[in-house]
Amino acid sequence: MLILAHRGASFEAPENTLAAFQRALDAHADGIEIDIMQVGDEIYVFHDRYLRRLAAQPGRFQDLTNEQIGKLRVFNQQPVPTLEEALAFIAGRCLLNIELKSEVDSTRLSRALNRAQSELGFQPEQLLVSSFNHHWLRNLQPQQPNIRYGALLAGCLLDYAACASELGAYSVHLDVDFIDQAFVDDAHSRGLQVYVYTVDEPEDILGLQAMGVDGIFANHPQHARQVIDGL
Ligand code: G3P
Ligand code: CA
């Protein structure tokens, strides 16, 4: 079962920052999950629509100027990376799951993904783009047919398989609250990988492993690895 560091190793360092990515690499996480949003003509790694939780100020992230974002410090500590900076930092050293949190210019995103593959050491199968908004995934697909796509599901939708099939998805990503053996078996019978978010409790980690889940998103990948290894 793969361990993907959720927003980087976000238990140990401010989420979605280079510091959290370094902690994930130090923990030998199989992959890193990041959230991206576009502001103006730049794509940033940032999770929240509002600034209160991450930057202790009012207002919306996407209302900031690029200059203001340059001065932001996540949890008063770490700068907000651009997608380009994140790609250059991770540089193919592990899998990368890019979750689209806002609509992004698919041409711009595709350019960044092309550079990731041609200059930064990523193989196409190391790049997994996911979103709860499946329209956004479909917009990107014609430009990036060789990378992987993950259908994020907020729950067990009746028509999830049709949706995943229409997207040509590699994986479905489901909340730990809704996962069960029947879902895992059904998804596997359709050739879909099953990734589960967000998982830090030992009981959950071991239970999901026993179900045959293919990957988990963990805030504390080092701890997850120890649980799996029985340490
Ligand atoms: O991609 C899995 C998970 O990160 C989705 O939820 O809110 O943590 O971005 P959220
Ligand atoms: Ca996410």
Centre of ligand 1 from the C-alpha of residue 8, in Å? 12
ipTM score over 0.95, yes or no: yes
For 151, the token pair is 């259908």
Q: What is the C-alpha to C-alpha distance for residues 31 and 149, in angstroms, rounded to an integer?
A: 15
Q: What is the C-alpha to C-alpha distance for residues 52 and 49, in angstroms, rounded to an integer?
A: 9
Q: What sign does the CA torsion over 131, 134, 139, 141 have?
A: positive
Written as one letter, the residue type at 138 is R
Ligand nearest to the CA of 132: 1
Q: Does the model's pTM come out above 0.95?
A: yes
**Domains in the chain, ordered, with CATH?**
2-49+80-228 (3.20.20.190)
Q: What is the C-alpha to C-alpha distance for residues 16 and 203, in angstroms, rounded to an integer?
A: 26
Contacts of 231 (CB under 8 A, 6+ apart): none
Ligand nearest to the CA of 172: 1
**pLDDT 10s per residue in the chain (231 long)?**
999 999 999 999 999 999 999 999 999 999 999 999 999 999 999 999 999 999 999 999 999 999 999 999 999 999 999 999 999 999 999 999 999 999 999 999 999 999 999 999 999 999 999 999 999 999 999 999 999 999 999 888 889 999 999 999 999 999 999 999 999 999 999 999 999 999 999 999 999 999 999 999 999 999 999 999 999
8-state DSSP, 133: -
